[in-house]
A and B are shown apart, each in its own frame.
Chain A
């Protein structure tokens, strides 16, 4: 069977009058349907002393509406094997769900109800708050999560990217029901909302269903926060160790401020990251620190390019006695990438990985929905997948070296270590 990429011919894109952009892609090979999307109601708009407010608000959307209780919502979805969830990020609140195609109406009914008519019942708010506080307690004793939390704060001081979306015990415990209701009223709006539907359903029919349920939504009191926080610079190395007592492994996060997904450097930087800590078994980092030195079960790098300039980071979990050796090893690989030309074959390997793995990413409805959302969120164009291979293949050995020199500094970095 020939590979058919989602393209301007096969993606139905519609802008509803109230500001919602809807993308629909038909796939009749499986009896299921996946929905996804986002609204501009992330943690960016919350005050630092109320950190966790956006997250708690998003979590409450499904916990009671004017016509349904939390348990009625759960019962309705789960009795047909459907699922729906909302999750706050820094910029947006994302949602995702799936159902058998025969149950799409139900899924959309509940999505629309939760978005437009949440009631924030006090007893449910108290319960969810308790669950989040328990999770924050667990976080405090989790070396992976503490290393990352510390790294973000170190790299982005006094900046929304340095704050935890989940919040902190002292901020989450002060939040009350009215805070949630107020956050909802001021920030949840169809303006700029993106919705994606992928599955066994005619596109025209999907549009009608969404229009009928969300087309009339107006939120005059809300101003969706679409601002992008400024990029930060790192002028001196920063290092912080957090004690997590009684553990057998330490976790390390070492990284730099980098770039936005819309930055012209993105494709080149992403390829560089693939070489550094993704390709095969975690790229050059995995090869050197795991395979050659036997130091770590996991060591990798990740470029988190989002709406603003997110971090580029390396991560490793190692025995506490090997922390310094691992940091030196990571810095050594950074130096090598900056100082020595990348062998042409290594570049070609990463290029064929990035282009060749696209059919796998597009295999499931969820995979397609994720890529459609990315296209719309970052304005990549509906023909992005058709252009993608050319973009990746245009990257040169010089580009990779330039990206490493521009973004990755072996002397000036933020470093967080969490462990015993």
Chain B
């Protein structure tokens, strides 16, 4: 089914895709703002503002959104990441108008009650402290921070504790007034509806909302990396972690697709299900080199499609009784191999088939489809999603070799060690 794309007079982009396999519809609003738009002093504000959109408006007082969605048999949530802030509702198809009403209302009418801001501060600090309990979070924060000196991808979306303690109502309100508006947003619906009718409903709900002035651009590109960076983090536990983060092309760059093939060969096909763990990667090169040899307990890789150049991130859990040095030496040998020898045509075909299967699985859920459609539009365009499999199928063995040599060199990476201090 083709994607219907329209722009309303107030600048709201609308993307619609009919999918009639189940009587369910998902509705998403994507704002082109995330922690990428933050500066030191207010890190974490995009995520905090997202939380405030659940804290009430005149039409939907606090708690009403959760209650009405649940009462109608739906699910909803909000997500903030580096490049975006997004909200969705998935409902039985005949009730999706509730999702449209909620999103049109809170695009402009959220209250940001100062008392609610104060209460939410401790909830968000609690969210950060929960994440800090995980060594993998702590290591990732250090590695990404070292990889980006200038670009705001430098800090985690959750924000730094000092900023979470300091950000005030006025900061949050300014953020809301700057970034939330139809001309900085994308509305996505996927599910059991007639596209023309859905467009009419969206136009009715969102058409009257005024456009805002354009938000300030993000213009602190990361300078080229000129040598390997290393960070060491010590902390509680018995388990060591190795992380290697290579600077990678953004989603819209032609190198992204050969890079996706490389990441599939090295660390397995990325999952496309938002709410499920990634698929097993036990036939991937790094699993075989590190886990099958008994050096590591697990290895994962991720190449996120991003607006600006980001990272191909590899994390290895060192097996009990093995050392970081042994694991890193074996990792190094495997990475040298992919630079020295071309991949086989079989490996390329397998990587393509794996992605095809992940696409098919993810298409069962309208929520997943809405996620990918919106995500693609934020970081590239709808073609990126629609042509994903075609572009992947067009990748050649030679391109993969070239891209490996451009991005997977030592000079282009940041390596992190989590050194456990024992009990």
Q: Is the CB of A360 within 8 A of B74?
A: yes
Residues of B within 8 A of A348 (CB): 71
Chain B residues with Cβ below 8 Å from A144 are 133
Judge if B350 is at the interface, Cβ distance under 8 Å: yes
From B21, B123, B129, B297, contact of A248 by CB (8 A): B129
B contact face: mostly helix, strand, loop, or mixed: mixed
CB distance from B56 to the nearest CB of A (A): 10
A298 at the interface (CB under 8 A from B): yes
Binary contact readout B287-298 vs A (1 if CB under 8 angstroms, 0 otherwise): 010011010011
CA distance A108 to B184 in the complex (A): 49
- Decide if A202 is an interface residue (CB 8 Å cutoff): no
Question: In residues 248-280 of chain A, which contact B (Cβ within 8 Å)?
Answer: 248-249, 279-280
Indicate if the CB atoms of B73 and A357 lie closer than 8 Å: yes
Shortest Cβ gap from B320 to chain A (Å): 5
A142-B133, A352-B71 known; A287 vs B63 contact (CB < 8 Å): yes
What CA separation (Å) do A137 and B298 show in the bound complex? 14
- Chain B nearest CB: distance from A333 CB in Å? 15
- The reply to whether B236 and A74 form a contact with Cβ atoms under 8 Å apart is no
- The interface residues of chain B lying within 8 Å CB-to-CB of A98 are 361
B192 CB-CB contact with A under 8 Å: yes
In the complex, what distance in Å separates the CA atom of A49 from the CA atom of B102? 55
CB contact under 8 A between A364 and B365, given known A349-B70, A352-B71:
yes
Tell me, in angstroms, the Cα distance from A357 to B319 when the chains sit together. 42
Instruction: Please tell me if A221 contacts chain B, counting CB pairs below 8 Å.
Output: no
Is A246's beta carbon under 8 Å from chain B? yes
Give the contact-size bracket for chain A: 35 or more
- For B132, the closest partner residue in chain A by CB is A248
Bound CA span A79–B349, Å: 9
CA distance A126 to B122 in the complex (A): 45
Q: How far is the CA of A79 from the CA of B120 in the complex (A)?
A: 46
Q: Is the CB of A135 within 8 A of B297?
A: yes
Q: How far, in angstroms, from A32 to B50 measured CA to CA in the complex?
A: 35
B127 & A297 in contact (Cβ 8 Å cutoff):
yes
Selected contact of B237 from candidates A2, A78, A141, A249, CB within 8 Å: A141
Contact call A81/B21, Cβ cutoff below 8 A: no
A383 at the interface (CB under 8 A from B): no
| B63 in contact with A246 (CB, 8 Å) | no
Given the complex, which residues of B lie within 8 Å of A352, measured CB to CB? 71-73
Within 8 A of B (CB), among A279-326: 279-281, 287, 290-298, 317-319
- Tell me, in angstroms, the Cα distance from A140 to B421 when the chains sit together: 13
The verdict on A197 contacting chain B, using a C-beta distance below 8 Å, is no
- Which residues from A are CB-within-8-Å of B74? 356-357, 360
With the chains together, A411 CA to B282 CA distance in Å? 49
Partner-contacting stretch, out of B34-42, B103-111, B207-215, B351-359: B351-359
Instruction: Name the B residues within 8 Å of A280 (CB-CB).
Output: 63, 66-67, 69-70
Q: Does A138 contact B (CB under 8 A)?
A: yes
Contact among B20, B122, B127, B292 with A1 in the assembled complex (CB-CB below 8 Å): B20
Scoring A2, A74, A138, A355 by chain B CB atoms within 10 A of each residue's CB, the highest score goes to A138
The smallest C-beta distance from A127 to any residue of chain B, in angstroms, reads: 5
Q: Name the residue of chain B whose CB is nearest to the CB of A279.
A: B70
Bound CA span A138–B366, Å: 35
- B residues near A16, Cβ cutoff 8 Å: none
Chain B residues, CB < 8 A from A127: 291-292, 294
Tell me whether A294 and B23 are in contact (CB under 8 A).
Answer: no
Q: Is the CB of B356 within 8 A of A81?
A: yes
Known contacts A131-B297, A280-B70; decide if A137 and B237 are in contact (CB<8 Å).
yes
Q: A359 at interface (Cβ–Cβ under 8 A)?
A: yes
Q: Least Cβ distance of B124 to chain A in Å?
A: 8
Give 18 A-B contacts (CB < 8 Å), ordered by A residue: A1-B23, A1-B93, A32-B360, A74-B280, A80-B353, A82-B357, A100-B360, A127-B294, A137-B238, A141-B236, A281-B66, A291-B119, A294-B122, A295-B123, A296-B123, A353-B70, A357-B70, A365-B364
Using A317-B130, A349-B67 as known contacts, list a sample of 11 further A-B pairs with CB atoms less than 8 Å apart, ordered by residue number in A: A81-B358, A127-B292, A133-B320, A134-B317, A291-B119, A295-B126, A349-B70, A353-B71, A356-B71, A360-B90, A363-B24
Task: Give me the 7 closest cross-chain CB pairs, A-B, nearest first.
Answer: A356-B73, A81-B357, A246-B236, A280-B66, A29-B21, A134-B297, A294-B119
